[in-house]
A = this chain, B = another copy of it.
Amino acid sequence: MQALLNEILDQVRPLIGQGKVADYIPALADVPANQLGIAVYSNDGELYCAGDAHTPFSVQSISKVFSLVQAIEHSGEDIWQRLGHEPSGQPFNSLVQLEFERGKPRNPFINAGALVICDINQSRFAAPVLSMRDFVRRLAGNPEVAVDQRVAESEYQHRARNAAAAYLMQSFGNFHNDVEAVLRSYFSYCALRMSCVDLARAFCFLANDGFCKHSSQSILSARQSKQVNAIMATSGLYDEAGNFAYRVGLPGKSGVGGGIVAVVPGRFSVCVWSPELNAAGNSLAGIKALELLSERIGWSVF
C-alpha cells in the first residue's frame, strides 16, 4: 500500500497547475498550490501516508460530515423532517431549488442543508463550536485540531450567499436560531484545520460499521454508518457526485480547501489533499488520485 500511494502521487503530480486554488477569501487563496498528500487508515489500524500527509489544511465542506454525524447522534431520524437525503442536481449554493421546495434543503451536503444541520446542533449545544472541536479531536485522536480564526472571520465577511439561504429557510419556518449566530458556528466548523492523517483517522468509523478503533468508541450504529456513506455516495461532491461514483465508485466528501475523504466500507478510509480545484470545486489531483487508487486495488463499492 505504501508503494502504491507513492506511485499514485507521482502519477497525479503533473496535474498541479491545471486547476485553480479557491480564491474567494484571501486566507484560502494564499495556500501554496503545489502541495499534495495522501493518507490511508485501515480498519486494522494501519496508517499509510505519502507526500504532505501531515500538513494541516482547511477542511471546509468536509466538516459537513462531522456536523451531520453530531446531529444523527443526538436527534437520529428526526432530522429528516427538516431536510432530505436526495441529490440536488444543482450547483451547491443554488437558492432556486430551495425556494421551489419551500425551504427544505435536498441534503445535508449542499450549503443550505449543512446550515439546517448547524441550526439543529446550535439548539442542542451550549457551546456548539467547542463541542464540535472536541468531537473532531476525539475522532482524529489529535488534541491539537483547532479552528483557524482568520479563515472563519474572513468567511463570515463573505457570508452573503449563505446568509441569503439561511434567511430564505427562516422565511419558510425552517430555521430556528439567530441567523448570524449559526453562520458564525458554520464558518468555524469549515475553518477547522486538519491534515490528511487527521481526516483519514477521523473518518475510519465509516469504514468500520460505525466503530472508531483508536478511541474504542461506537460513533454510529452499523446501519447509521451505511446511511451516512449512502448520502456521501449520492451527494458528497457537489454537482459532481455522479461523476465521482462513475469514476471512483466510493462514498466521499470534498471541500474547497482541496481535501477529499473517501471510504472503502469494511477496509479503510482515505484522505487526499491538493489545493487546486476543478470547475466543479473539487480537488483536481485529488479526484484523479482516488480514481487510480480505486482502479489499482480493483475495488469500488459497485
Contacts and interface: CB of A to CB of B under 8 A. Distances in A.
Interface stretch (A38-46, A88-96, A143-151): A88-96
Nearest to A227: B246
Number of copies: 4
A221 interface: no
A60 B189 CA distance: 40
A166 B164 CA distance: 7
**Residue of A100, A235, A242 with most chain B CB atoms under a 10 A cut-off:** A242
**Residue of A159, A165, A175, A226 with most chain B CB atoms under a 10 A cut-off:** A226
A163 B160 CA distance: 10
Nearest to A159: B167
A198 interface: no
A160 B241 CA distance: 31
A239 interface: yes
A81 interface: no
23 contacts: A84-B242, A86-B241, A87-B234, A89-B89, A89-B90, A89-B97, A95-B99, A96-B99, A106-B242, A159-B167, A160-B167, A160-B168, A160-B170, A160-B171, A164-B167, A164-B171, A226-B249, A226-B302, A230-B300, A231-B245, A233-B233, A234-B245, A301-B301
Interface of A: 84-90, 94-97, 99-100, 106-107, 159-161, 163-168, 170-171, 175, 179, 223, 226-227, 229-231, 233-235, 239-243, 245-246, 249, 251, 265, 295, 300-302
